[in-house]
Amino acid sequence: MIKIENLHASIDGQPILKGINLEVKPGEVHAIMGPNGSGKSTLASVLAGREEYEITEGSVTFEGKDLLELGAEDRAREGIFLAFQYPVEIPGVSNINFLKTAINEIRKYKGEEPMPAKDFLKRVKEKSALVELDNSLASRSVNEGFSGGEKKRNEIFQMAMLDPKLSILDETDSGLDIDALRIVANGVNKLKSADNASIVITHYQRLLDYIVPDFVHVLYNGKIIKSGPKELALELEEKGYDWLKKEEALEV
């Protein structure tokens, strides 16, 4: 589905990603872990198409297309969804209106008719239940005045509504209490299918108790320094990142 090859990216001349290689196939869940400042969120931003980052080397192919050639909105329309680490507040714009606009723009891109209001509302009802999102939140302004947990649940709700092929969850677990974490993870799991895939970016192993990954990658200093099965996450939880850092240092 997505193939990242030797990806290098920098911001203001400062290299952050220094050669990432990763392939994700339909149906898979990949976890990317790593200490603070290792480049996890940069990877998410680069894939979603944030313009502050400069791609200095490498390629990203998504469903056979050169992803790096596409603008952020076209990547979204092709089926990439980023659950933001810090969801943005848009005062005065209702969640519903926001989503309806997004859905219809995506449909327009695909040459489809706008979604009939009845179908849309039905979908809102169905998907908001998935993340136990209060109905009133749907009519409130996007993320405005939402608690941290509500914002994250809202991200998953949007994900459910837009039905992406590849979801990138950027630190979706940060700032969540156990209940909220369970709801969010539950939502993600229910959305999982043989046709879509997810990249779960997290600092802690905790989220992976709920969302079970097929692969775990450790990102350190802009590179993936270790990949392995889900057990790797447990090992990291136990031993921390230091042993990997040492290994990396030895190799250099």
Partner 1 sequence: MASEDELLAEVTSSEYKYGFYTNIESDKAPKGLNEDIIRLISAKKNEPEWLLEYRLSALKAWQEMIEPEWAHISYPKPNFQDLHYYSAPKPKKVLDSLDDADPELLEMYKKLGISIDEQKKLAGVAVDIVMDSVSVKTTFQDKLYELGIIFCSFSEAVQKHPDLVRKYLGTVVPKTDNFYAALNAAVFTDGSFCYIPKGVRCPMELSTYFRINEANTGQFERTLVIADEGSYVSYLEGCTAPMRDENQLHAAVVELVALNNAEIKYSTIQNWYPGNKEGKGGIYNFVTKRGLCETNAKISWTQVETGSAVTWKYPGCILKGDNSIGEFYSVAVTANHQQADTGSKMIHVGKNTKSTIISKGISAGVSNNSYRGLVNIGKKATNARNFTQCDSLLMGDKCGAHTFPYIEVGNKTAKVEHEATTSKIGEDQIFYCLQRGMDEQTAIGLIVNGYCKEILNQLPMEFAVEAQKLLEISLEGSVG
Where on the chain is the footprint of partner 1 (CB under 8 A)? 48-50, 71-73, 75-77, 81-82, 84, 87-93, 96-106, 109, 114, 117, 141-142, 158, 162
The H or E element that residue 72 is part of is helix 72-78
**What is the smallest separation between the CB atom of 157 and partner 1, expressed in angstroms?**
12
- C-beta of 47 vs 211, nearer to partner 1: 47
User: How would you classify residue 141: left for phi > 0, otherwise alpha for psi between -120 and 50, otherwise beta?
Assistant: beta
**What is the smallest separation between the CB atom of 142 and partner 1, expressed in angstroms?**
8
**What is the smallest separation between the CB atom of 118 and partner 1, expressed in angstroms?**
11
- C-beta of 55 vs 93, nearer to partner 1: 93
C-alpha torsion sign, points 232, 234, 235, 236: positive
**What is the smallest separation between the CB atom of 83 and partner 1, expressed in angstroms?**
10
**What is the smallest separation between the CB atom of 189 and partner 1, expressed in angstroms?**
22
- C-beta of 124 vs 208, nearer to partner 1: 124
- C-beta of 96 vs 132, nearer to partner 1: 96
The CA radius of gyration of the chain, in Å to the nearest whole number, is 18
- C-beta of 19 vs 148, nearer to partner 1: 148
Closest by CA position to 34, among listed 209, 158, 167, 201:
201
Closest by CA position to 227, among listed 60, 46, 31, 41:
31
Give the whole-angstrom CA distance, residue 7 versus residue 58. 4
**What is the smallest separation between the CB atom of 67 and partner 1, expressed in angstroms?**
13
Q: CB under 8 Å, gap of 24 or more: what pairs does 46-52 form?
A: 46/7, 46/9, 46/17, 47/2, 47/4, 47/75, 47/80, 47/82, 47/168, 47/199, 48/72, 48/75, 48/76, 48/80, 48/82, 48/168, 49/75, 52/11
Strands (E), 47-100: 54-62, 65-66, 80-83, 90-94
- C-beta of 47 vs 225, nearer to partner 1: 47
**What is the smallest separation between the CB atom of 61 and partner 1, expressed in angstroms?**
20
- C-beta of 88 vs 250, nearer to partner 1: 88
